Amino acid sequence: MIAGWRTAILTLPLVLATAPAWAAPKAAVAALDGIRQRCVAAAQAEQQQEAAVAGLEHQIALLAADSAGRQRDIDDSRPQQAHLLSALAFLARNGAMPSALVAEAPLDRRRGALLISAVAPELRAEAHALMAEINDIARLRREIAAHRHELAQAAAALAADRAQVAQLVTQRLALTRPLLPDAANDATLQRMAARAKDIGELIRLADAATERRDRDLAARQTADSTRPAAPRAFDPPQSALRLPISGTISRRFGEPSDANGAPAAGLNLKGAVPGSEVVAPFDGQIVYAGAFRDLGLLLIIRHGALYHSVLGGLAGIGVVAGEWVTAGEPVGAMPGSPASQGAPTDEGTGNLLYFEVRRGSQPVDPQPWLATQAAGRGAANGEQKVDQ
């Protein structure tokens, strides 16, 4: 199922209509391998650019908050500033011995001179501190302007990266569709979703349908042309999962997920930016791609015989049920506008991805395997590190 994907996918019917009829399946398989590798590289570049954009936005927000706070302090101290300026002006006009004290008794003049000599340095220090604060605000505003310029450039680069990924996904779909004549259609997926009471049952139904398809292919002595030459089997703890999006964890496995305190069976991941690219966390086969209950558009990827990953809350899906994918390959996109319909929301932003991993029928915490991968990445490239 394809819904709400990048605008480039709107051209898919034309691409499919004009795609050459592959006389030799090997040619299509070779072309698919090449597109797959380019998809992984392009999606990685896009996610890095998303992290860069998010980092600049965060820096601008911090600088703007600092500048606004300092400006509020200055605005609130206007009366004190007026008294300070009046006192400094008085000293500037009258010097260290104001004429008002000349007519006083010698003892009074002496006391007045001592008072002025004690107060004058403090007044000047206050004036210097005020000027330093004003200069700091000006510096912060210059830094904000410079970061906004960088942000505009990063946003333009991100738009170009997304256009490239969308084009590659369109080409990949044009290749995979003819190679999957027995793939589950939308009607089959909808019936499956209607029958399933929960994600566990949906996985069982999707696996059964995939295994029937595989048996039919074997009976006809037909190979699955979308299967990579050597797909990796997920084998914890040696294997590591990719973080599906560039972002942060907003709810962890086991934390309360509703008003009744039911423990969360997966992670909520907040995308770094709206429309974040979603990639396959590991090599596997798409066994379900469609809408499911309150999770919006949902992907289920089977990783070998024992593990599945579930990605929910997508605004668009760029793969089809039955297709094989490799780790890091783009499979969908997050909502690109506030409160997108059909996706879980984070305070109305519509930018949450639900990520679940199951071992057999039981949800398991994916974060240790994500942390293993994140520990090997440097912070310099801007990719998300998963906190324990």
Residue 237, preceding peptide bond in cis (omega within 30° of 0): yes
Counting residues of the chain whose pLDDT is more than 90, the rounded percentage is 44
Q: How many distinct structural domains can be found in the chain?
A: 1
Q: Using one digit for the tens of pLDDT, what is the confidence trace for 45-54?
A: 999 999 999 9
* Mean pLDDT value across residues 12-25: 42
Q: Please, what is the end-to-end C-alpha distance for the chain in angstroms?
A: 35
Q: Using one digit for the tens of pLDDT, what is the confidence trace for 147-201?
A: 999 999 999 999 999 999 999 999 999 888 888 877 777 888 888 999 999 999 9
Lowest mean pLDDT among 32-41, 95-104, 314-323, 366-375: 95-104
Model pLDDT, residue 92:
61
By 3-state DSSP, what share of the chain in percent is helix, strand and coil, each rounded to 5? 55, 15, 35
pTM for the whole thing? 0.77
Q: Using one digit for the tens of pLDDT, what is the confidence trace for 255-269?
A: 887 778 889 899 999
Model pLDDT, residue 305:
85
Who has greater pLDDT, 96 or 137? Answer: 137
Q: Using one digit for the tens of pLDDT, what is the confidence trace for 203-213?
A: 999 999 988 88
CATH of the domain at 340: 2.70.70.10
- Torsion, CA 244, CA 345, CA 382, CA 8, rounded to 10: 70
Domain-located, residue 37: yes
CB 273 within 8 A of CB 335: no
Predicted confidence band of residue 381 (pLDDT cuts 50, 70, 90): very low
Domain-located, residue 182: yes
Q: Are strands 352-359 and 362-364 parallel, antiparallel or unpaired?
A: antiparallel
Domain-located, residue 248: yes
Domain-located, residue 271: yes
Predicted confidence band of residue 215 (pLDDT cuts 50, 70, 90): confident
Domain of residue 11, residue span = 7-66+156-381
* Mean pLDDT value across residues 323-352: 69
CB 269 within 8 A of CB 242: no
In the predicted structure, residue 326 carries a pLDDT above the cut 70: yes
Q: Would you call 324 helix, strand, or coil by DSSP?
A: strand
Q: Using one digit for the tens of pLDDT, what is the confidence trace for 278-299?
A: 999 999 999 999 999 888 899 9
Please give the helix or strand (H or E) that residue 314 lies within, else none: strand 307-314
Q: What is the DSSP letter of 327?
A: T
Domain-located, residue 15: yes
Model pLDDT, residue 85:
63
Who has greater pLDDT, 346 or 35? Answer: 35
Domain-located, residue 107: no
Who has greater pLDDT, 382 or 121? Answer: 121
Domain-located, residue 294: yes
- Per mean pLDDT, which of 64-78, 149-163, 214-228, 340-354 is the most reliable? 149-163
Q: Using one digit for the tens of pLDDT, what is the confidence trace for 85-94?
A: 666 666 666 5
